[in-house]
Amino acid sequence: MDQNKDNSNKEKEPDLYSPAETPALVEDKSAAVKEAPKGLKKGEIVLREHSFDGIQEYDQQLPNWWLTILWLSIAFFFVYYIIYYSLKLLPTSTESMDQRVEEIQQMRYDALQVTLAKLDDEKFVNEWSTDLAIVARGKEHYAKNCSSCHSVDLAAYGGAAARPLNDGVWEYGDKPMDVFNIILKGTPAESKGYKGVLRMQPWEKDLGAEKIAEITAYLISENPKDFAKFKK
Ligand code: HEC
């Protein structure tokens, strides 16, 4: 009870803690409180009257540059919120990202249409697979993207990892356009895949139609007999 009273009447009671040990600080305090904090000289320090276990706080004004940043950020928030979320004058980053993705998909689709318009079974065999530059590019793409499963020699490690591409068997159609399409679209949804489990992903997204056409040309050039019927 006694102690409670001590706390509430702190102002009137003598401070039992710090004053005796830090007389200089207390002197500063009384001087500072009497003066108005406004008329301070640069570098002059004011202590708040409040003291807790002998610990006191400075009574300083926040620097103007700091306050300017604070108020500007608050103002910026309102402007930003109104432009992007209330009035929707500009697209948010999510919206512009979605729009960009849509554009890319459209570009990819257009590119596929352009490539497809250039292609048919005869053109693949007579033009693409006989063009050494195209075949060389196709071989390069194949080595990078396909050889891990189908192996560099096209034998797919004796058919262990994937369907061999040099055994004269074209499971999903033996026309050049069939080969192009199976690479483009991967294992068809209705198929169980190789050995009933092994499926191939579609490559259209990773490689694009043009590179897949070049790979197809390379595969044709490596299997001339399989596609001889289209030779003119
Ligand atoms: C992760 C392993 C893997 C990679 C990488 C891979 N394939 Fe395949 N591929 C397979 C499997 C498994 C099959 C058999 C799928 C099926 O039967 O449905 C297959 C099937 C094929 C077929 C069909 C063969 C046929 O008999 O009709 C072709 C063509 C083919 N791949 C070409 C490619 C090309 C070109 C690439 C590179 C762009 C490639 N593959 C990359 C695993 C792979």
Tens of pLDDT, residues 95-107: 999 999 999 999 9
**What pLDDT is stored for residue 40 in this prediction?**
67
Task: Verify that 83 and 119 share a domain, yes or no.
Answer: no
Q: Is residue 6 part of a domain?
A: no
Task: Verify that 85 and 171 share a domain, yes or no.
Answer: no
Half-sphere exposure of 40 (CA within 13 A, CB side): 15
Q: Which residues contact 133 (CB under 8 A, 6 or more apart)?
A: none
Task: Verify that 174 and 224 share a domain, yes or no.
Answer: yes
Ramachandran category for residue 193: left, alpha or beta (phi over 0 → left; psi -120 to 50 → alpha): left
Q: Are 34 and 46 in contact (CB under 8 A)?
A: no
Task: Verify that 215 and 140 share a domain, yes or no.
Answer: yes
Looking at the predicted structure, is the pLDDT value of residue 210 above 50? Answer: yes
Q: Are 52 and 59 in contact (CB under 8 A)?
A: no
Task: Verify that 30 and 114 share a domain, yes or no.
Answer: no
Helix pair angle (204-222, 176-185), 10° resolution: 150
pLDDT band at 27 (very low <50, low <70, confident <90, very high): very low
**What pLDDT is stored for residue 13 in this prediction?**
57
**Nearest protein Cα to ligand 1, atom 6:** 146
The domain of 221 spans 98-230
Task: Verify that 84 and 124 share a domain, yes or no.
Answer: no
Which range has the worst mean pLDDT, 38-52, 107-121, 151-165? Answer: 38-52
Q: Is residue 2 part of a domain?
A: no
User: How many angstroms separate the alpha carbon of residue 181 from the centre of ligand 1?
Assistant: 11
Nearest ligand 1 atom to the CA of 179 is: 29
Instruction: Return the SS3 of 38.
Output: helix
Q: Is residue 35 part of a domain?
A: yes
**What pLDDT is stored for residue 32 in this prediction?**
45
Q: Is residue 225 part of a domain?
A: yes
More confident site: 64 or 41: 64
Q: Is residue 132 part of a domain?
A: yes
Which ranges in the chain belong to alpha helices (H)?
2-8, 18-21, 23-34, 64-81, 93-118, 121-123, 132-145, 147-150, 156-159, 176-185, 204-222
User: How many angstroms separate the alpha carbon of residue 130 from the centre of ligand 1?
Assistant: 23
Mean residue pLDDT across the chain: 86
Of 141, 144, 163, 179, the one to substitute when testing ligand 1's pocket (max ligand atoms within 8 A of C-beta) is: 163
Task: Verify that 112 and 133 share a domain, yes or no.
Answer: yes
**Nearest protein Cα to ligand 1, atom 3:** 149
Of 178, 182, 200, 226, the one to substitute when testing ligand 1's pocket (max ligand atoms within 8 A of C-beta) is: 200
Task: Verify that 75 and 188 share a domain, yes or no.
Answer: no
Task: Verify that 115 and 189 share a domain, yes or no.
Answer: yes
Looking at the predicted structure, is the pLDDT value of residue 137 above 70? Answer: yes
Task: Verify that 123 and 26 share a domain, yes or no.
Answer: no
Of 139, 142, 149, the one to substitute when testing ligand 1's pocket (max ligand atoms within 8 A of C-beta) is: 149
- pTM beyond 0.75: the answer is no
Q: Is residue 187 part of a domain?
A: yes
Q: Is residue 4 part of a domain?
A: no
pLDDT band at 14 (very low <50, low <70, confident <90, very high): low
Ramachandran category for residue 151: left, alpha or beta (phi over 0 → left; psi -120 to 50 → alpha): left
Domain count, the chain: 3
Residue 86 DSSP symbol? I
* pLDDT, average across residues 69-87: 96
**Nearest protein Cα to ligand 1, atom 18:** 193
Task: Verify that 115 and 214 share a domain, yes or no.
Answer: yes
**What pLDDT is stored for residue 129 in this prediction?**
96
Pocket around ligand 1: residues whose beta carbon is below 6 Å from it?
A: 142, 145-146, 148-150, 162-163, 165, 169-172, 179, 182-183, 187, 191, 193-194, 198-200, 203, 215
Question: Of 91, 112, 137, which marks where a domain is finished?
Answer: 91
Paired residues of 205 in beta bridges: none
Closest to 182 in 3D by CA, of 165, 203, 161, 198: 203
CATH number at residue 170: 1.10.760.10
**Nearest protein Cα to ligand 1, atom 28:** 183
Dihedral angle of Cα 125, 128, 130, 132, to the nearest 10 degrees: -160
Task: Verify that 105 and 167 share a domain, yes or no.
Answer: yes
User: How many angstroms separate the alpha carbon of residue 150 from the centre of ligand 1?
Assistant: 7
Q: Is residue 203 part of a domain?
A: yes
